[in-house]
């Protein structure tokens, strides 16, 4: 597994999203996923304090155990545990960091990220406190998630000469190309930041398991999601694009997984593609999906998923 730069860190091109840990996966299943990832050369694990009802960090820490030195841990703070809003005050984040360190069973978080912007707290105050965490050795690098291009520029100015956000994490896939269109990728270039896509498989639509004209496989994330979300992900527009992608994948004899991951990694701003996994087999499939696509293939994928 090749690695890319993320600030001062080196992360695998494919990472593990840990939102299943503590929710759909118990400790044994989490450990199986984590060890399969490390064995496949995947070193980047992205979690958050609220994932798995505060259990994701705990289970990740236990799973890593004596293999902690092989991993790059990214975690997030800011979403209140009762899901009532966002808080990024210095007092809140200092306490949140200490709690995450305890749950993870580690003395340092490699990448600490603000989960969502907090409109009530000046970004300069938040970044100042995050810089203190770096100075104290509790955090190696700082980043953010779900920030707009304007917010990224504001944060860069607020950081002054101290540590600044090295990454932004947002939804990005062949079926959601918002970062290309809203200026976030351009801002990453401008500010020398890395981009971390989540939902790279569009909630399972890009796994290749959803075939044209066939029902959604039982037990999948798509099948289990609430009806209001299904209306978006299983609407006619996205299904038509998925059908076109599957036809092209079949024609090229390339898996949908390879197209989904490799198209994202062809963007120079992308450091690692964050994908969830429920078992070791999925981990290995994701890890082996990366390939160097031809210019013609990349162009055709972009054409097939272009929005008006």
Could you list the active site residues? 51
Q: Where are the alpha helices (DSSP H) in the chain?
A: 27-39, 56-64, 90-104, 123-135, 149-159, 178-181, 184-191, 221-224, 227-233, 236-252, 256-265, 280-287, 295-304
292 exposure class (CB count in 10 Å sphere: 0-12, 13-18, 19+): exposed
Q: Tokens 């066939």 identify what position?
A: 214
Do 145 and 168 form a contact (C-beta atoms < 8 A)? yes
Q: What are phi and psi of 49, to 5 degrees?
A: -60, -35
Helix axes 256-265, 236-252, angle to 10 degrees: 100
Dist. CA 100–CA 98, nearest whole Å: 5
d(CA 184, CA 173): 14
How far apart, in whole angstroms, are the C-alpha atoms of residue 150 and residue 234? 32
CA atoms within 13 A on the CB side of 90: 9
Nearest to 113 by CA among 164, 43, 70: 164
Strand pairing partners for 15? 274
């Amino acid at each position: 597994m090749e690695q890319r730069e993320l600030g001062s860190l080196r992360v695998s091109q494919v990472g593990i999203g840990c939102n299943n840990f503590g929710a759909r996966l118990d400790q044994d299943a989490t450990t199986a996923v984590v060890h399969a990832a490390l064995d496949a050369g995947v070193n980047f694990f992205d979690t958050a304090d609220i994932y798995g009802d505060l259990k994701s960090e705990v289970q990740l820490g236990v799973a890593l155990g004596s293999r902690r030195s092989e991993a790059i841990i990214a975690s997030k703070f800011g979403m209140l545990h009762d899901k009532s809003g966002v808080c990024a005050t210095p007092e809140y984040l200092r306490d949140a960091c200490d709690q995450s360190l305890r749950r993870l069973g580690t003395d340092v978080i490699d990448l600490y990220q603000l989960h969502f912007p907090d409109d009530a707290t000046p970004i300069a105050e938040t970044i100042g406190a995050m810089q203190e965490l770096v100075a104290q050795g509790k955090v190696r690098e700082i980043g953010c998630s779900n920030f707009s291009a304007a917010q990224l520029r504001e944060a860069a100015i607020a950081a002054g000469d101290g540590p600044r956000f090295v990454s932004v994490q947002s939804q990005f896939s062949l079926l959601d190309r918002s970062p290309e269109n809203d200026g976030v990728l351009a801002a990453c270039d401008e500010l020398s930041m890395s981009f971390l896509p989540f939902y790279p498989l569009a909630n399972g639509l890009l796994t290749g398991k959803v075939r044209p004209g066939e029902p959604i496989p039982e037990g999948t994330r798509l099948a289990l999601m609430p009806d209001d979300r299904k209306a978006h992900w299983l609407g006619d527009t996205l299904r038509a694009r998925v059908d076109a992608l599957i036809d092209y994948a079949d024609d090229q004899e390339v898996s949908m997984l390879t197209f989904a991951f490799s198209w994202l990694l062809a963007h120079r701003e992308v450091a690692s593609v964050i994908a969830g996994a429920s078992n070791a087999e999925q981990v290995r499939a994701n890890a082996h999906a990366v390939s160097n696509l031809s210019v013609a293939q990349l162009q055709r994928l972009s054409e097939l998923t272009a929005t008006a």
